[in-house]
Amino acid sequence: MRRIHVLVSGLVQGVNFRAFTRRRALALGVCGWVRNLSDGRVEAVAEGPDDAVADFLAACREGPPAGAVEAVEVREEAYRGEFSDFEVRYPYYY
């Protein structure tokens, strides 16, 4: 099992990036969350089987058709198994 913390920059807000990642996560069986940050990036935490998390990360690098991903920062974290779903959270700055 694997857990990653992802920061995605580029044209990633206002282009359905969060909904896109949620759909991909649910289809892959990945749990966690995604939210917008005040600096224009999107932040996500994802947990699940190694292959599924790798596919989720590939989706983050791709982004939705209306977006343009410029960079993806990935930090591996210890798997915790703390999520049962993948949710869109309110932006950090609210």
Task: Give the residue extent of every domain in the chain.
Answer: 2-80
Place of tokens 């920062």: 73
- Cα 31 to the center of its chain, rounded Å: 10
**pLDDT score recorded for residue 91:** 76
Active site residue 16: no
The DSSP 8-state label assigned to residue 8 in this structure reads E
Mean pLDDT by 10 residues, the chain (94 residues): 98 97 98 96 98 98 97 98 95 62
d(CA 45, CA 61): 14
**pLDDT score recorded for residue 77:** 98
Looking at domain 2-80, its CATH class is alpha beta
Out of 18, 22, 24, 35, the active site residue is: 18
**pLDDT score recorded for residue 12:** 98
d(CA 94, CA 49): 32
Out of 2, 22, 35, 36, the active site residue is: 36
Q: What are phi and psi of 87, to 5 degrees?
A: -120, 155
